[in-house]
Amino acid sequence: MQIVLRPGITLRQGSFSAVIAPELIITRALAANPELTRFLFLFVCGNYSRLATQLGRPSANFEVRRPFTADQLLTVIREAGHTIIVVEHDSSLFDTAERLLVPVGSALKEAGREALVILYAPSMDKSFAALARSADRLIEILPASAAEPSTRHQQGQPPRRNAAIPPAQRTLEVI
């Protein structure tokens, strides 16, 4: 069982991956894979979810849990016996419970030994970074507009050498 985020970026069972990506990327990867309905799937979100309505699956194997505190999140992760566990990061759970960042990260890592565990956020924040330290992989997929290199040069500075050459064909410069 695997989830393909992008060509060449595949998530597999037996791992804990921290993923930073636009919502569209993660929802396509999870909703467009009909094979996932065969597995026990746990979607965990906190006080506010961007993905819950987009992932609604007509499957008896799909379960949603909404912990409202970091303690409840820790309990949900420790009690999960699912094949796929997706945790939509909610930093507000850790506003008054920073002491639980390490135990929650460890619980995600432990769950990742048997399941495919994904900690998802659209952008990095302090609590996500702390949880991601326990991950087997940290994957960041940038929106297409953010990935394009800037062709503008700062006023008063000459344009860089090779500025007209596409990024994939540029040569290294000696500084």
Q: Kindly report, residue by residue over 159-170, the tens digit of the pLDDT.
A: 555 555 555 555
In a domain, residue 166? The reply is no
Residue 174, domain member (yes or no): no
Provide the number of structural domains found in the chain: 1
Residue 160 inside a domain? The answer is no
Give the tens place of pLDDT for each residue, 100-152.
Answer: 999 999 999 999 999 999 999 999 999 999 999 999 999 999 877 655 555 44
Look at the alpha carbons of 84, 110, 138, 123 in this order and tell me if their dihedral is positive or negative.
positive
Residue with tokens 């002491």: 99
Q: Residue 155 falls within a domain, yes or no?
A: no
| Residue 52 placed within a domain | yes
Range of the domain at 107: 2-144
pLDDT band at 56 (very low <50, low <70, confident <90, very high): low
The predicted pLDDT at position 157 comes to 55
Res 73: pLDDT: 95
Q: Is residue 73 part of a domain?
A: yes
Per the domain annotation, does 70 fall within a domain?
A: yes
- The pLDDT of residue 53 is 72
Confidence category of residue 153, pLDDT binned at 50, 70, 90: very low
* Alpha carbon distance 20, 17 (integer Å): 10
Residue 171 lies in a domain: no
Q: How far is CA 103 from CA 1, 39, 83, 115, 138, in A?
A: 27, 26, 21, 18, 18
* CATH label of the domain that carries residue 17: 3.40.50.300
Q: Give per-residue pLDDT as tens, 11-42.
A: 888 999 999 999 888 888 887 777 777 889 89
